[in-house]
Amino acid sequence: TNPGFVVRITQAGLDYAHQQGITVLEKELAQLRLPDISGDFRIRHVGKVHYEISRLDLRSFHLPHSRISLVPNVGLQVSISNAFAELDGNWRVKLLFIRDHGSFELKAENIYIKINLKLGSDAAGKPTVDTSDCSTRISEVQVHFSGKFGWLYNLFYSAVESRFRKSLESKVCESVARSVHRDLQPYVQTLPVTARIGSMAGIDYSLVAPPAATAQSLDVKLKGEFFSLTHRSPVSFPPPLLALPPAHDRMVYFGASSYFFNTAGFAYQAAGALVFEITDSMIPKDVEFHLNTTTFSAFVPQLEEMYPDMLMKLRLFAPSAPFMNIGPEGVSLRPVVDIQAYAILPDARLAPLFLLSLVSLGTAWLGSSGGALSFPLSAPQVRMLQSIMNVLASSTLLPRLNERLGRGFPLPLPDRIQLYNILLGFHQNFLMLGADVQYQPR
């Protein structure tokens, strides 16, 4: 199925995420624990030499040059070059009657690391990340031994260098895999697949497909569907094709299709949230008329005869979910809003008066406690009534809607991410929001 919501991470966004990740990886590598090294080798005419390298302490591991790149149809690749590590430790050697020991310093230079990250999604629709390949190559190792017998150190120098190189190369990839599993995987899973909005609705942000890498960006396709918390039912219309245009000025882009917003109307209508009541006390003082039968009897004289000088209540409700259209020129919304008018009787009971639609011209109906009584209105009378209802709705209902819309809705963002430098654009069947991001560490 087509997504209702798409998140696009550009190369600039990946570079920013890469900076944060490399900092974590550098700290992880600096905590590597290397095993002791020991061995024997035989010298012609001399005999067997036994050496031990112990208490290896990695003082630092620096990653000065690295880059992240997109691998289409695969995922991401992190390449690290010219890295270097420094460590020290103790050595001990035994040759016939010769015993010696001391300390040493070792520096590994021109370390190259290549990490492939495989991106996917789990059964709950959350993103997943894992290392699909890792390789490490150390070009140069320098060891400086402290001690009296320089010629003796040279005998096992190559053996120590070779074994240390192999040990460090394997430990680096083990550390990378551990860091991805322990740090990166839990973090990407903080991307919410369900966002609750108040007590009535939520948003389904589950992935409908694994993240897709192209040559320019990483696209994450989400369901993007509002649903009622009280009764979730299938949406009766399909999402349109959502193809984001090429844009790379921001770190991240969000594409929300008309399907995304129209399911909001569907969910709120199903939850019974699109019902509003207006009374005379809610009308602003600068509005020149009051919500009573005297005002409305100007074009429906029977109201004053049947319910003289009584306050009224209006009940606005949507008989069907409102439908939104998005185009390059902006957003248009033509909801069908029915207005049921009541007279408030002296004993606080409500007497139905008429029902009016704000969208199309129609017939207004009068009602009485003794039964239904229809009274057709002329087109000018209906238009006048609609004008009055529009004034009432705009002065009472729109402030409430604007207050709710002003609170917005949560975007699918992992923990501790904030947006800035925001740009909004309209396209056919979807709107696109571009932004730069900032990570807020704990």
List the beta bridge partners of residue 129. 119
Phi, psi (5° rounding) for residue 315? -115, 110
pLDDT given for residue 155 in this prediction: 67
Per the DSSP assignment, residues forming a β-bridge with 89 are 104
| Residues 6+ positions from 274 with CB-CB distance below 8 Å | 265, 268, 317, 318, 321, 322
**Phi and psi at residue 377, in whole multiples of 5°?**
-105, 150
CB neighbour list of residue 205: distance below 8 Å, 6 or more residues apart: 5, 125, 191, 192, 193, 194, 195, 222, 223, 224, 412
Give me the half-sphere count of Cα atoms (radius 13 Å) on the Cβ side of residue 147: 21
Cite the residue boundaries of each domain of the chain with CATH code 3.15.20.10.
194-407
Reference 184, options 438, 415, 437, 430; nearest CA is 415
pLDDT tens per residue, the chain (442 residues)? 799 999 999 999 999 999 999 999 999 999 998 888 888 877 776 678 888 888 989 999 999 999 999 999 889 999 999 999 999 988 888 877 778 888 888 899 999 999 999 999 999 999 999 999 999 999 998 888 887 766 666 666 777 788 888 889 999 999 999 999 999 999 999 999 999 988 889 999 999 999 999 999 999 999 999 999 888 888 989 999 999 998 889 999 999 999 999 999 889 888 888 888 889 888 888 777 788 998 888 777 888 888 999 999 989 888 888 888 899 998 887 778 888 889 999 999 999 988 877 664 444 444 444 444 455 667 776 677 667 767 766 766 667 667 766 777 889 999 999 999 999 999 999 999 999 999 998 7
For the chain, give percent helix, strand, coil, nearest 5: 25, 45, 30
| Domain ranges in the chain with CATH number 3.15.10.10 | 10-189
Query: What separation in angstroms does the CA of 335 have from each of 29, 247, 262, 382, 439?
Result: 59, 33, 11, 18, 40
Of 328, 325, 333, nearest to 428 by C-alpha is: 328
Q: What is the pLDDT of residue 305?
A: 86
CA separation, residue 144 to residues 89, 90, 102, 106, 147 (Å): 11, 11, 11, 6, 10
SS3 state at 41: strand
Q: Within a 13 Å sphere around the CA of 28, how many CA atoms are in the beta-carbon half?
A: 20
* pLDDT for res 83: 96
Chosen CATH of 194-407 out of 1.10.760.10, 3.15.20.10, 3.30.300.30, 3.30.470.30: 3.15.20.10
Q: Do 112 and 137 meet the contact criterion of CB atoms below 8 Å apart? A: yes
Enter the CATH code of domain 10-189. 3.15.10.10
DSSP reduced 3-state for 62: strand
* Tokens matching residue 134: 């890792």
Q: What is the pLDDT of residue 27?
A: 92
What tokens does 127 get? 């993103």
Collect contacts of 17-24 with beta carbons under 8 A, ≥24 apart: 17/68, 17/439, 18/66, 18/67, 18/68, 18/78, 20/439, 21/78, 21/184, 22/63, 22/66, 22/78, 22/80, 24/179, 24/183
- In the prediction, which pLDDT does 321 show? 86
Cα separations (Å) of 350 from 71, 98, 318, 321, 342?
67, 110, 20, 26, 6
